[in-house]
Each structure stands twice: as structure tokens, then as C-alpha cells.
Structure 1
Amino acid sequence: MLVVSIGTAALIIVLSVFNGMEGLLRSIYGTFDAPLQVLPAEGKSFVFTTDLREKVRSIDGILDITEVIEDNALIKYNDAQMIVKIKGMSDNFIEQGRMKNAVRQGELKFLDNNTAYAIIGRGIQFNLGVSLRNDFLALQFFYPKNVKPGAIDPYQYYSRANIMPGGVFALEQQYDDNYVFVPLSFTEKLLDYRGKRTSLELMVDPEQDLLTIQDNLAEILGKKFVVLNSDQQHADLYKVLKIEKLFVFIIFSMIVGIASINIFFSLSMLVIEKKPDIGSLFAMGAPKKLVRKIFLLEGAIIAFIGAGSGLVLGFAFSWLQQTYGIVSMGVASSVTQAYPVEIIPTDFLFTAITIIFITFMASIQPAIRASNQGVQRV
């Protein structure tokens, strides 16, 4: 019974931590990602025409359009260099304030006194040794050109542009180590896109149904574009979390199943120990069904008490962690100081059903053996 209780509590705690991790990622991405994103169905860019802009704005519920140009580029600072994702954003991105809580150094700005600025991830700052206090050293970006064969001048093979670092953000490692945000005009010139965009990020009215807006937008844009909501933009990540949670559930259920062998042997020993009493029941006219029910009831008691106490222990620890953050991450630079936990009722339901089923099944064979005991004369 104790083993069942501990296994149930451990399963509830682990599942709650996975829920908390998913919720933490949603909160991180939710503060930065736009509710809707428009991407080309084929290729990596499209021409952003006035007609396309009017189509998007005609959808009820869309408040703002952020134009985006995103691609890989080589960045160099002093003697260090690395490949990064350069993401050019239109000026309204700053006005939306989606990164205002993520900036750790400098300012959230793209333009100041006719000088363009870049906002870089903290990981990139560490790798390149970028100093915001150095007003004489700029970030150098290099992007390969689509030149014809036979060109002799090496400068014809790539375009180059400089920009000053204006701020450092810390959002999430994937962004911190790879992304540099710059003005849209800077990226358009560096990549020579000439009116092309790689995506559109749309801000919507929070009081309206997001899925309805998404469906209406997808219908008016047609098959040439794909419209993604915030969850679909990171669908692979959330899918991995759900798969990991499923495998953890299966593994812990197997552990409880192995632990339930103790219940099997305990009931088997009880059958041997109570053999005279079983014989007395048969002598008094008790049917096999009654004897079988007695031992099945014994297994059910173990199952319900073990699962019930485990659910209570798991809920108590998860609630304490969610409320007071008892167990810390142990990393000073982590996004959250304590392990995130989220309690979901369905986890308790499926865990209870699984644990009770496993432990109850372990009591079937001893109950059948007890009912097959011959009538012992008293």
C-alpha cells in the first residue's frame, strides 16, 4: 500500500512539473510572439503589396501588422564572428512593447538621432564580447549575394552593413543565442529584398475569438499563405513536451505495476495463512464467489487507499511548490527561480484510474486461488 501511495504521488508531481514547463514556455513565447503569423506556403518570401495589406486589414479583429524579414547572416564584432538569425522588424514592433520586459541592458529602440540600433540576444553578446559602452565599434553584418559566375572582385559575393548595438535581451535560450532584431529598412537593404517580406506578425483584438480571426484570414488570403496562431508557431516544441509527458506516465505506471507484485505476493501469502478460515467458510456453505469477492475486496482496499493517499500527497506537494516555490531551480540566471508546477484535474483522473486498475489486477489471481481452495474440515 505504501509503495502504491509513493508511486502515485511521484507520478502526480512529475506530471504537474511537465504542465508547469509547458505553461512557462507559453508565457514566455506569449509575451513576445504575435497572436497570428502569416507565412508563404511556398518559398521563404513574398511581395508585400498594398492589395495584400488591405486584405489583411479588412479582417475584423486585426489591430496591427508588423512586417518581418528574417534570414541567416554572418555577424562580426571586433575579432569574433558567428552565424545568427537577423530579424528585421517594422517600427511598430517597438511600439507594441512585446520585448519591454526582456531587455536587460541598453534600450528597446531601433532609431535614435538618425542612428540605427540593433537589439541582440544575451548569448550573442557573450559569444562576441559586445559592449554597449563602446560607441566606436559597430556590429558588422555580411550576407551572400546571388552573383553570376566569373566575378573576380570578392566584394561582389556579399553585401555588408554596419549597425550599432543598442540593447541586449534575455528571453529564452533559443532566441538569446541566435536572434538579432534590427530595423526593417536595414535588413531590406542588406538582404536586397526590395519590397519582399518573409512573414507578417499580426496583433489582434483580445476580446474577439482568435480562431475565428485565423479562419477568416486564411480564407481571404487563399492557399498561397499559411496562417499560424501562437501555439502552431511552436507546434514541434509543444508536441515534444506532450510526448515526453506520455512516456513519463507510461514509465511510472510500469514502475507501479512492478511494485504491485508485492500486493500479489502479500495476498498470496494471505491465502496460505487463511487457508483454515477459507475452509471454515466453505464448510458453512459459503460459495466460491463469496470467497473470491473477499480477496478482491482486500485488493480494492489496497488500491483505493494507496491511490487516494498518493493523490493527496501529490496534490499537497504540487500545491506547495506552485504557491511557495519550495524547490528552486538552483540557477541564478534561470527564467524562473522555482520549478514551475501546474495542477490539472485530468492528470489526477487518469492517474487514479491507471493505478487502481493495476493494483486491482494484481489481486485477481490470489482471489481465484482462494476460491479454488478445497473445503477443509474443522
Structure 2
Amino acid sequence: MTIIAASGTVIAAAALFIVLSGFAGLKNFSLEFSSFVDPDLKVFPSEGKSFVISEDDALKINAIPGIQSYSKTIEERVILEFDGKKQIVTMKGVDENFTKVTTIDSMIYYGNWLEHGTNQIVSGGGISNKLSYGVLDLTRNQKIYVPKPGKGQITSVKGAFNSVLAYNIGIFDINVELNNEYIFANIETARYLLNYDENQVSSIELKLDATADEVKVSEALKTVFGNRANIKNRAQLNDALYKMLNTENMAVYLIFTLVIIIALFNVVGALIMMILDKKASINTLFNLGTTTKEIRRVFFLQGSLMTVLAGTLGLILGFVIIFLQQQFALIMLTPSLPYPVEIKGINFVIVIVTIFVLGILASKLASQRITKDLVKS
């Protein structure tokens, strides 16, 4: 009975560590895609869709220590047309520094990145599939429409829109959402379509040095822009994704904690069976002068020791399995992609604390079955 109870605790501890490590790997796997398109810091207007960055603002940004590079961007919803098919997409106009701030160009699986000073675009794979176009089709072009700002009655369709002819030169693959939503263009193209001034932008995206203090850089940027703009880091830009992943992580932990609680019922049962089996020996100890409290303590320590040893063995077993997965890719998501796992110190602490606390409580519960009536009978 003791072996069975201990085995259940070993398996439960190993399962908890494996699940936490697997979820940590999936979390990082999901978040790493945001690093391809999201900057370290992003400055965007506190009101409206755009703000003006003056030459004085640019000089102050360049003077902030810790900023490696920054890029001006213009973002807006547009109508993209090709061969009679239309789709509303998000166009992001970027300058030549954008590839220094993000690594979006590394996600292009067909074609190339934008050439500065052209009306070229780079599209998500989902958009290119839906509109049925490829790369560098010089016989046919994409057309981008944006409604003109202003008031009054529209007298003609031509007068209601700004438009440019563009050529797709690259297709990127990041995730389903971005692939179906975004196209990238040169900032001059976006500026023309939206009638923006030379220094008018939708956002400024920044790349920081590896040793930069993100908080200090953010405070310096707030000093530059004041109430005109807000600053967010990568986690804040993906706050919904972070909240969802953290919630799922907590849910997984609670579910497997319940599994551990169920496994520890075996420990309680084993201790109670042992108490009943050793009833005569307990009675002898009591008659020799051992108090009920001391007898309880014996079984409490036995149960606690069994739980601690079983939990430690389970933790070691889980670590070995995760290590083997990292080294030899035992389980694959696809033929070329191993199931992502990550060994984190916090997961060791979570498993140890969970097993030890619940095991001690289970042992305490079982030892309380020893009463004066039991030891005297």
C-alpha cells in the first residue's frame, strides 16, 4: 500500500513538472513571433491616429542613452485590389530603419524586402492567397485605395479616394492573424495615400541596446513627448496575449494540483491502514509511557518523509524527460518541429512547494486519526 501511494506521488510530481515545462515552452514559442514585428518600445499618439515628430524631438531621441535605432511608421486600414478582387487590410508604411528595429525581413519566405523610394509592398501569406497574387508579377499590379479626408458630398469615385499602383515583391509568414491582416509599404507611399505631412507619423518604434534600462528609456521618452504620446513595451503591446497565456498557465497548474491532491489521498489511506495494522504496537508504546501526541508525530513524520522522497523522485524523473525532449526531440509537433519545452527554475520551486505543502497536510490529516480511544483499545 505504501509503495502504491508513493508511486502515485512520484507520477503526479513528474506530470506537474512536465506540464509546466511544456507550457513554458509553448508560451515562449507563441511569444517569439511577436519579436519579429514588435519593437522593444513603441511611441504612439495619446489622441487621434497620428502626431508630429519635429527635428528637435528627433535630436532629443538620438541623445537618449540605450536607444540602438528607431523607425517612423504610418499605419492605416486600406483597400487592396488585385485582378478585380478586393480586401480591406492594414497597411504599415515603414522607413529604411524598420529592419534595424525588427527582424520582419527574416520572415519573408518568398521574395525580398522593400526597396526604399518605391511603391513596392510586402504582403502576408494569407492576403496573397486570398487575392491570388504572387511576387513580381510585372504584367499585373496591386492597387491600394484610401478614402480622402474631407467634408461634403462625393461627386465621383475617383475624387473620393487616393490610390497608388504597387507591386508585391515579398510574402511573409509569421502567424495566421498577421498573415491575413498586414501589408508593408514604404513610408512615402503611406504618406501620399493619407495626405500626411513630412514629419507626421502614426508611431515611432525603437530598438534598445542589450544593456539598456527599459524603464529609464521610457521615462526619457515621456520627457520628450509629454502628454502628446504614450509609450508601451513589447509585453504591453501584447497584453491580451500575455493575460491569456498567464491565465491558461494558472488553470493548468490548478488542474494538476487537483491531480496531486487525489494522488495524496493514497498517502492518507496508506497511513490510516498502517495505523490500523500497527494498532497493537501503538498500544504497547502507549502503555510504556509514549503520549498520543508523540505517536501522532511518528506517523506524521513517516507520511511527510514518504511524500518528500516521492515528490523529489518525481521531480527528477520529470526533469530527465524534459531534458531528453530538449536534446533528442522525442515528441514532434510536425516532422520538422519538436514539441517546445523549457526548463525553468521557478517550475522546480512550484513543484517542490506544492508537493511538500500538500504532502505535509495529508500526513497531518492522517495522523490525527490516532486518538486515546484508539491506542487504548
Please, what TM-score do these two structures have when normalized by structure 2? 0.91
Verify: 1:233 aligned to 2:237, yes or no. yes
Letter paired with 2:228? K
Letter paired with 1:325? A
User: Which of 194, 198, 202 is the aligned partner of 1:198?
Assistant: 202
Letter paired with 1:156? G
SS of the residue aligned with 1:322? Answer: helix
May I ask how many residue pairs the two structures share in their alignment? 371
| Pairwise CA RMSD | 2.2
Q: Give the unaligned 5+ runs of structure 2.
A: 1-5
Q: Give the unaligned 5+ runs of structure 1.
A: none
Partner Cα separation in structure 2 for residue 242 and residue 210 of structure 1: 22
Distance 1:37 1:97, change over 3 A: closer
Partner Cα separation in structure 1 for residue 197 and residue 171 of structure 2: 28
Deviation at 1:237, TM superposition (A): 1.6
Report the equivalent of 1:370. 370
Partner Cα separation in structure 2 for residue 52 and residue 263 of structure 1: 67
Report the equivalent of 1:285. 289
Letter paired with 1:151? I
Report the equivalent of 1:56. 61
Task: After TM superposition, list the pairs within 5 Å mapping 1:1-378 onto structure 2.
Answer: 1-94=6-99, 98-111=103-116, 115-195=118-198, 196-330=200-334, 337-376=337-376
SS of the residue aligned with 2:169? Answer: strand
Distance 1:158 1:79, change over 3 A: same
Per-residue CA deviations over 1:274-324 (Å, capped at 9, x if unaligned) read 222211211222111221012112211221122111111111111122222
Partner Cα separation in structure 1 for residue 290 and residue 224 of structure 2: 75
Moved more, 130-139 or 288-297: 130-139
Letter paired with 2:143? Q
Per-residue CA deviations over 1:112-133 (Å, capped at 9, x if unaligned) read xx75211111222222221215
The 8 Å contact of residues 94 and 110 in structure 1, kept in 2 or not, is answered as no
Partner Cα separation in structure 2 for residue 320 and residue 32 of structure 1: 32
Partner Cα separation in structure 1 for residue 64 and residue 144 of structure 2: 37
Deviation at 1:31, TM superposition (A): 4.2
Letter paired with 1:248? V
SS of the residue aligned with 2:212? Answer: coil
Distance 1:60 1:160, change over 3 A: same
SS of the residue aligned with 2:361? Answer: helix
Sequence identity of aligned pairs in percent?
A: 27
SS of the residue aligned with 1:126? Answer: helix
Deviation at 1:346, TM superposition (A): 1.6
Moved more, 187-196 or 365-374: 365-374
The 8 Å contact of residues 21 and 341 in structure 1, kept in 2 or not, is answered as yes
Distance 1:138 1:372, change over 3 A: farther
Moved more, 216-225 or 147-156: 147-156
Partner Cα separation in structure 1 for residue 273 and residue 114 of structure 2: 75
Partner Cα separation in structure 1 for residue 215 and residue 328 of structure 2: 35
Per-residue CA deviations over 1:331-369 (Å, capped at 9, x if unaligned) read 76xxxx112211111211122111221122122232111
Distance 1:178 1:305, change over 3 A: same
Per-residue CA deviations over 1:28-50 (Å, capped at 9, x if unaligned) read 33344322211112222112322
The 8 Å contact of residues 114 and 185 in structure 2, kept in 1 or not, is answered as no
Partner Cα separation in structure 2 for residue 358 and residue 309 of structure 1: 16
Per-residue CA deviations over 1:55-86 (Å, capped at 9, x if unaligned) read 22222333433110011112122243322111
Deviation at 1:158, TM superposition (A): 2.7
Partner Cα separation in structure 2 for residue 281 and residue 291 of structure 1: 8
Letter paired with 2:41? L
The 8 Å contact of residues 121 and 177 in structure 1, kept in 2 or not, is answered as yes
SS of the residue aligned with 1:363? Answer: helix
Deviation at 1:249, TM superposition (A): 1.0
